[in-house]
Every structure is written in C-alpha cells, then in structure tokens.
Amino acid sequence: MDHWKLFRPVACLSELRAEDKEAALGILVDALVHSGALDMTLRERALAALVTRERSVSTGFGHGVAIPHVRLHGLVETSASLSVLPGGCEWGAIDGEPVQLVFTVLCPERSSARHDSERHLELMRWLARLARSSDFRSRALAARSCAALIELLREMEAA
C-alpha cells in the first residue's frame, strides 16, 4: 500500500528532545510545517487538536510507542512523521512506560469517500503492527538519521 511514502524525511526527527508531551507535540508539528507536509496556516489548529486529543485520551500505545493522530479541517492530504525520543518522555501510555518512538499522523477531515476511511484504517493498523514489533522498535531506536527511519519504514512495509 506504500504507507511509508506518507512519511517525509524532513518531518522525521531522529533525536527529538522535549521536556514533556505537549512540548514534543509542538516540535513534531513544527517539523511537519518545516517539511511542507503541513501548511503554516494550519499549525495552531493541528497543535490544538493533538493536545486536546492527548488530554482526553493518551495515544501512548505501549512498548515505548505513541501514535498521536487527528483529523484536521483544511488539510488536503494525510501527512505523517516518525520521531525518536532517545531519553524517553512521559506520555501517559497504557503500560505506564515512557515513549521513545512517536508516529504523528494528520489526516484530512472525514470525507464521504469510503476509500479514504479505509486507507486511514489500513495506515493505523500498519502503525499498530509496527508498534508491537520488537524488531521494528529496536531498529528505529538505533537509526541515526531521518533517512534511515524512512528506509526502515519502507523495508518493514515490504516485508
């Protein structure tokens, strides 16, 4: 399905440092803006949506992975990033462990097209599979560049 192509290397961060979850979300949104995956006019809306989502229910998946994801009015196409927090960050994850890997996914608001909803669900299922894979997690944590993270995503999808 080529889900890995939604991830832009410039939007990924191989050494994200943040004091807390909300600071991390701000940095992640800024990386998406910097990469061109998110228009600057949508920055505040995207950050507010992600923070609101986290305050209502944590996207801390467990196994040191979080998958913050929201639908965003005004967004034309799905954009995603994968980032590594080497020191970990408290995220309120289901298992109580700090998060070291963050998949950020911004999708256009729900469209009437069934295909779009199915593609979104496929993407989320794929990310959940990666999050459960100890091989993926260890390789992502060892990646030394954003290009290496994208290559890992490509390899994992081809496998």
pLDDT by residue, tens only, the chain of 159 residues: 689 999 988 999 999 999 999 999 999 999 999 999 999 999 999 999 999 999 999 999 999 999 999 999 999 889 999 999 999 999 999 999 999 999 999 999 865 555 577 888 999 999 999 999 999 999 999 999 999 999 999 999 988
What distance separates the 2 farthest-apart alpha carbons in the chain?
Answer: 41
List domains and CATH numbers for the chain. 3-158 (3.40.930.10)
From the candidates 3, 34, 63, 69, give the one annotated as an active-site residue.
69
Provide long-range contacts, Cβ within 8 A and 24+ apart, for 26-35: 28/68, 28/81, 28/83, 28/102, 28/104, 29/104, 31/81, 31/83, 32/79, 32/81, 32/104, 32/106, 34/10, 35/8, 35/9, 35/10, 35/11, 35/79, 35/81
* pTM for this predicted structure: 0.93
pLDDT of residue 113: 52
Query: What gap in Å lies between CA 75 and CA 101, rounded to an integer?
Result: 24
Task: Say which DSSP state 9 is in.
Answer: G
Specify whether 69 is catalytic: yes
Query: What gap in Å lies between CA 157 and CA 36, rounded to an integer?
Result: 24
